[in-house]
Amino acid sequence: MGATSNEVIRVGIIGVGRGMSFAHGCKHVGMELVALCDIWEERLLAAGEQLGVATYTDYEEFLGHDMDAVILANYFHQHAPFAIKALDRGFHVMSETMACKTMGEGVALCEAVEHSGRIYMFAENYPFSVANQELRRLYQAGEIGEVRYAEGEYNHPGEEQWRLSISPGFNHWRNWLPPTYYCSHALAPLMCITDRMPVSVNALSIIEEATQTPRNTKVSDVGSVILARMDNGAVFRIWGLMMSSISRVRYELHGERGLIATAEPNHWANVRIFHEPWLLREGQQQDVTYAPDWPAHGDLAEAAGHGGGDFWTNFHFANAIRDGQQPYLNVYRGTAMAAVGIQGWRSCLEEGRPMPVPDFSDPAARAPYRDDHWSPFPEDAGPGQPPPSLRGIIPPAPEVAERAREYWASLGYHE
């Protein structure tokens, strides 16, 4: 059943920052926003009044609202417990950024989806740019044969005041996030294009003194390189996250018979195909760069954020609920991406030692990780827990901390 069905899906959203993109896009795919939840009450009430929906500061009360589905747009690393509660209460769930912050949470999340029978979608939006959808079409049509090597890059630098504006509080997740953890923007498109899954990772972390503590409030390292071995033997190289050099979103896939990639001047919208002359097949061009058309719904996608991806995540979630079939970006792909980040950080702390990525769809493969609660976040601090930087934990200088507090207070945030 398509998104134009008359069946309305009543949805509630947790998080009125990032969640507003989902909220404004619901109506385009036959979903009706009925409730919002957030602990920042001033912003919550303003959003509720703007959209004319019920508001809650308590998640348990929010789950008592009459609705069919929950979209999680809360803090990056806190999705799994909220998703599990919603699934246990019979709601469908769409969750973005990181499916789980520990391997143990990943096991619990998979079991919650399986036991509930509800739809779970990992709302990673970068696979749905017009360029990446075209790369999937090309790859699935056999344009370059089997992938052997691929590169995904997502790097998002920014000056300090901007960074403070999106990470209020010294314990905010952005200030503690190891650079491997936010790997899905770089990895997910490659996985979706090729249908390949990671089986192990090697990773190295990158320190940038000028943008880490004590000069700034960011405790964690700013960049990493991940090498993911895939289930067909291919190697995918993942690079990012907040290094100061250049803002970059780019994808490149090398196959047995050529290359496909996103291309300049706009990696969201342009595609390149290249074949060496002796590998050309009938009907193929040796080297061509072009701007593909959207497969459908181009007007709605063009108006949405993240290169159109914010429309398509809502679209596929709504259709999965109506069809009663798990979406392509299901819980197993979501937890696999999270595991690449988690196990990648383990590898970083051991100077690149390879770490396994289990198949979360296999109960026997995921079982050894059930009690694995290894976490770098400050709320989990304790014996055996890792730091978010190769340098350990270094607090910001007093003058840096005072400047941050003053700026956060100007935004209405008081720790």
pLDDT at 110: 98
User: Measured between alpha carbons, how far is residue 288 from residues 150, 153, 208, 260, 263 in Å?
Assistant: 19, 22, 38, 10, 10
pLDDT at 305: 86
CA distance 201 to 378: 25
- Positions of CATH 3.40.50.720 in the chain: 9-122
CATH code, 127-306+330-380: 3.30.360.10
SS3 of 159-207: the string is CHHHHHHCCCCCCCHHHHCCCCCCCHHHHHHHHHHHCCCEEEEEEEEEC
pLDDT at 414: 76
pLDDT at 1: 30
Which residues of the chain fall short of a pLDDT of 50? 1-4
- Expressed in angstroms, the distance from the first to the final Cα of the chain is 47
Contact by Cβ (8 Å): 376, 386: yes
pLDDT at 81: 97
| Residues present in the chain in total | 415
**Residues in contact with 283: Cβ distance below 8 Å, sequence separation at least 6, in sequence order:** none
SS3 content of the chain, % helix, strand, coil (to 5): 40, 20, 40
pLDDT at 5: 52
CA distance 241 to 344: 13
Residue 30 tokens read as: 């036959």
DSSP 3-state of 9: strand
Burial class of 401 by CB neighbour count within 10 A (0 to 12, 13 to 18, 19+) = middle
- Positions of CATH 3.30.360.10 in the chain: 127-306+330-380
Q: What is the pTM for the complete model shown?
A: 0.96
Instruction: Give pLDDT tens digits for 381-402.
Output: 999 999 999 999 999 999 999 9
Partners of 228 in beta bridges: 201, 236
Whether CATH 3.40.50.720 fits 9-122: yes
